[in-house]
Amino acid sequence: MPPLTGPKSGDALFGSVERVNAELFTLTYGAIVRQLLTDLEEVEEVNKQLDQMGYNIGTRLVDEFLAKSNVSRCVDFKETADVIAKLGFKMFLGVTATVTNWDAEGTSCSFVLEDNPLVDFVELPDTCQGLQYCNVLSGVIRGALEMVSMKTEVTWVRDMLRGDDAYEMRVKLTKQVPEEYPYKDD
């Protein structure tokens, strides 16, 4: 009988399972986008739905992120942005982002992704030129940040599916709700 072939260590096996999961996620997301395009007809409506889906995911994902990463409260928005770029993207997308293009106030920055697994296998037909395919990701960031008291506006400024040289998401902090200490000192 020939020897069994395949991954020899647990790590190798785990790595291949993760890759399959990532591909399944990418393909499933593509199927969802395609279905929304069929159902909603207007690309602008699809963009809104993808953002809303992402927002809903983000409001839940943040708990998992905080539990798994052991990150404690960040001192400011800059630290939060670094945590998302280095740990958040890595945990849920398998890649890291670069934080750049800060404004003078330290309230707007960009996340730049050179590699974006969400778009593997994707090509936009000419009829979908206004489609913001990755809106689920900007929605996730908006939803997650809202759960830690930061209201943001998140928009895409570069998109490789539209011929740009990278993916760039602009995150603008619009309101930071100070957290109230729940007990009174007597």
Q: Give the footprint of ligand MYR on this chain (CB under 6 A).
A: 61-62, 65, 71, 73-74, 80, 83-84, 88-89, 92-93, 137, 140-141, 144, 148
Minimum distance from residue 49 beta carbon to ligand MYR (Å) = 18
Q: How far apart are CA 166 and CA 170, in angstroms?
A: 13
Minimum distance from residue 4 beta carbon to ligand MYR (Å) = 36
- Alpha helix (H) residue ranges in 70-111: 77-83, 89-93
Q: Which is nearer to ligand MYR, 40 or 115 (CB)?
A: 115
Q: Which is nearer to ligand MYR, 62 or 160 (CB)?
A: 62
Q: Which residues lie below 8 Å from residue 113, measured CB to CB, with a gap of 6+?
A: 89, 95, 97, 166, 167, 168, 169
Minimum distance from residue 128 beta carbon to ligand MYR (Å) = 22
Q: Report which DSSP code applies to 99.
A: E
Minimum distance from residue 133 beta carbon to ligand MYR (Å) = 14
Q: Which is nearer to ligand MYR, 40 or 82 (CB)?
A: 82
Written as six digits, the tokens of 17 are 């399972």
Q: How far apart are CA 105 and CA 175, in angstroms?
A: 13
Minimum distance from residue 8 beta carbon to ligand MYR (Å) = 32
CA distance from start to end of the chain:
78
Q: Which is nearer to ligand MYR, 92 or 102 (CB)?
A: 92
Q: Which is nearer to ligand MYR, 37 or 91 (CB)?
A: 91
Kind plus residue range of the DSSP H or E element containing 100: strand 98-100
**What's the one-letter identity of residue 41?**
E
